[in-house]
Amino acid sequence: MSALRKLRSAAPVMLDDLAELVHVESPSADVDALARCADVVAELGRRCTGEAPERLVVGGRPHLRWRFGSGTPRVVLIGHFDTVWPIGTLARWPFTAEGDRATGPGVVDMKAGLVMLFHALAALGGDLDGITVLANSDEEIGSPTSTALIEDTARGAAGALVLEGSAGGRLKLARKGIAHYTVRVAGRAAHAGIAPHLGVNAGVELAHQIIRIAALGDAERTTTVTPTDATAGTTSNTVPASARVSVDARSFDPDELARVDAALRRLTPVLPGAEVHVEVGPARPAMPDSASAALFALAQGLAAGQGLPPLVGEAVGGGSDGNLTAGIGVPTLDGLGAVGGNAHAEGEWIELSSLPDRAALVSVLAGAIGR
């Protein structure tokens, strides 16, 4: 029986597994919740593959790894079980499945991808030699504790498959590199009514800096530099003594990210007496289209052999753990998860019919890469 036929017959079980996984809320910031979700993912993987995972705790966070066979893996399958949704979201937005659509917090990013991953392996009928699976719990915050684990696990593999969701069924052939920063301003507090002239307003200084930061983007080169969350001051009647803003920089071109980095490090204050400090945060290298070209060609042929529709791809600004595997030279194909939309937004959804079909593609790819 073909992988596609096996997985279509398993579609009701996949839906049940997805419902169970979505019902275990797992925001990135809640380690206890992540541990509970790791238990569910571990059991799903054990049931589909016959093996329990290694449980790896790094920086207090749980990660899961399955190794089938010994030595350097042929192929590494990567997913994450943390989400952007806080505990309590399910109470007002429960998991529902009607017709061909399921919705719920984390359903497309990326709990459906994890369900697909393990059922794809189950469809291989025990032929798992050379396959490694890594499920981490901090992708949504830049994979700070799992970056080294991902790189060490994938190094030397013939390919990496990333089960992130897919808008319109398009695979991710290239991703921008990402760099995060925090810009902090130090001023001097003073009473806003009695002696504002004695203060140095960190909020006003931050406003000057935000305008400078936003101007570093270059639309022609598709480089974005976006000031995001910002704070200033402590009370409404005090000249702010401190302020801060987060900065999100993205580009397909490493030279562009280097330019932005140098410019941010050169920021100087506008107001006399103010200080500006730049802190460097998590970063991910770009995933160039050269990293995915060979795997995409292989996937196109295998999809045709399964009777699946022709595959299409795209380059996107969002990052994933595929940036990390591509960054160490491992051929990487991303966006292999469920077809859906509204990731990170209210009403996140997937097409249920995409679960077995995309899982079949993952199954035949995992079986073919490196052989």
Average pLDDT (215-231) is 97
Instruction: Report the phi/psi class of residue 105: left, alpha or beta, with left for phi > 0 and alpha for psi in -120 to 50.
Output: beta
Same structural domain for residues 211 and 74?
Answer: no
pLDDT-above-90 percentage for the chain: 99
Count of CB atoms within 10 A of residue 236's CB?
6
For residues 161 and 65, membership in a common domain is answered with yes
Sign of CA dihedral 113, 69, 327, 315: negative
Residue 203 has pLDDT above 80, yes or no: yes
Domain that holds residue 61: 3-176+286-368
Q: Are 62 and 56 in contact (CB under 8 A)?
A: yes
Both 224 and 307 in one domain: the answer is no
Give the tens place of pLDDT for each residue, 358-367. Answer: 999 999 999 9
pLDDT number for residue 282: 87
| Same-domain check for residues 85 and 187 | no
Is residue 156 located within the same domain as residue 182?
no
| Final residue before a domain boundary, out of 228, 258, 283 | 283
Backbone dihedral angles phi then psi of residue 173, each to the nearest 5 degrees: -95, -20
Nearest to 167 by CA among 325, 308, 317: 317
Any catalytic annotation for residue 139? yes
283, 311, 335 - which closes a domain: 283
The catalytic residue among 109, 139, 256, 321 is 139
- pLDDT per position as a tens digit, 147-193: 999 999 999 999 999 999 999 999 999 999 999 999 999 999 999 99
Q: What CATH code is carried by the domain that includes residue 217? A: 3.30.70.360
pLDDT surpassing 80 at residue 111: yes
82 is a catalytic site residue: yes
Residue 1 has pLDDT above 80, yes or no: no
CATH number at residue 148: 3.40.630.10
Same domain for 303 and 171: yes
Query: Mean pLDDT over residues 114-120, rounded?
Result: 98
- Residues 290 and 208 grouped into a single domain: no
Q: Are residues 171 and 306 in the same domain?
A: yes
Ramachandran region, residue 142 (left: φ > 0; alpha: ψ -120 to 50; beta: rest): left
Together in a domain, 204 and 251: yes
Same domain, 261 and 300: no
Last residue of a domain, one of 250, 283, 316: 283
* Structure tokens belonging to residue 188: 């001097």
Looking at the 3D structure of the chain, how many domains does it have? 2
Angstrom distance (rounded) from CA 369 to CA 278: 43
Instruction: Return the closest-CA partner of residue 107 out of 339, 357, 362, 359.
Output: 339
CA distance 282 to 284: 7
Asked if 122 and 7 count as a contact pair (C-beta separation under 8 A), the reply is: no
Per annotation, catalytic residue among 82, 109, 138, 256: 82
Let me know whether 256 and 188 are in one domain: yes
- pLDDT confidence band for 83 (50 / 70 / 90): very high
- 105 plus 251 within the same structural domain: no
